Amino acid sequence: VPKLYDAAKNAGAEIRLNNAVVDILEENEKAVAVKVKNEAGTYTIKAKAIIVTTGGFGANPQMIEKYRSDLKGFPTTNVKTTTGDAFAWLEKFDAQLRLMNEIQTHPSVVPGRGMLITEAVRGNGAIMINHEGKRFVNELDTRDVTSNAILALPEKRAYIFFNQDVRKSLKAIEGYDKAGVLISGNTVEEIAANLNIDSSTLQSTLDTYNLAQATGKDTQFGRLDMARSLVRGPYYAVEIEPAIHHTMGGVAINTRAQVLNTTGDVIPSLYAAGEVTGGVHGDNRLGGNAVADITIFGKIAADSALEDISK
């Protein structure tokens, strides 16, 4: 973001902080201006093209419940401004919405903190255990599968469990330690006590996993990548729960990032890119792909707008 910000400033872009867009104005079914609010009041900016890049609605409980009642009350990893305001602005254009019910939960979020524990922890060798000290899912399965497996547990929470070898492999874990979310123990017995888990059950889980890691065959859950064994301590755990992370649904666009109405026609002068759009990721976004989405379609939207303005 700092690099893109500097590039925009160097190119002559005017960036107005603390000026909130509150509506997109329409004339003859065409987008013509945005209404903006700041401390002094409201004003209007007329435009030959408008690109909507306002993000999703993962921090809007009412919209979440509207499209997915089963996710009512779920925590979110989103910043508080991810409230989907643009969807109300676009109603007057009869903008087409796609896959609004496809809302991705991230399986590893610290309860009450909204802190996401990166999937790289599991990728580097961590396992997930329930409150009995047992594995219950292939830790590297998709986010929806692992989230649903956690929600099927009585506590609807689980632990990411790893050792010092995994910790040394990933710098991000040091940040979790500084944030105070790691539970630790030098031995299996010690961390089991700190987790209020039967140590013999936990030891049995680790023995089975370490054998699978050594042989490359996880007969329990079919995990293919087991980067490190968990033979040696110290050991660490983080309690986690699923939380709303990304909304795959949004306004429909074409390959030129033009917003479409409900009949599939282009809405003149209106473009969109990023999480506000729907259908780009299907029903389950792969981790990291949103970065490609916003940069590629952001540029496509700008190029399309400039091309159309030049006509």
Residues serving a catalytic function are 143
CA angle (291 as vertex; 287, 296 as ends), nearest 5: 130
Q: CA 243, CA 43: separation in Å to the nearest integer?
A: 37
Report whether 34 contacts 47 (CB < 8 A).
yes
Q: CA 9, CA 12: separation in Å to the nearest integer?
A: 5
Q: Which two tokens stand for residue 163?
A: 């050792």
Q: Which two tokens stand for residue 90?
A: 């676009």
CA 32 from chain center: how many Å? 32
Q: CA 107, CA 116: separation in Å to the nearest integer?
A: 9
> Cβ of 144: how many Cβ atoms within 10 Å?
16
Report whether 136 contacts 147 (CB < 8 A).
no
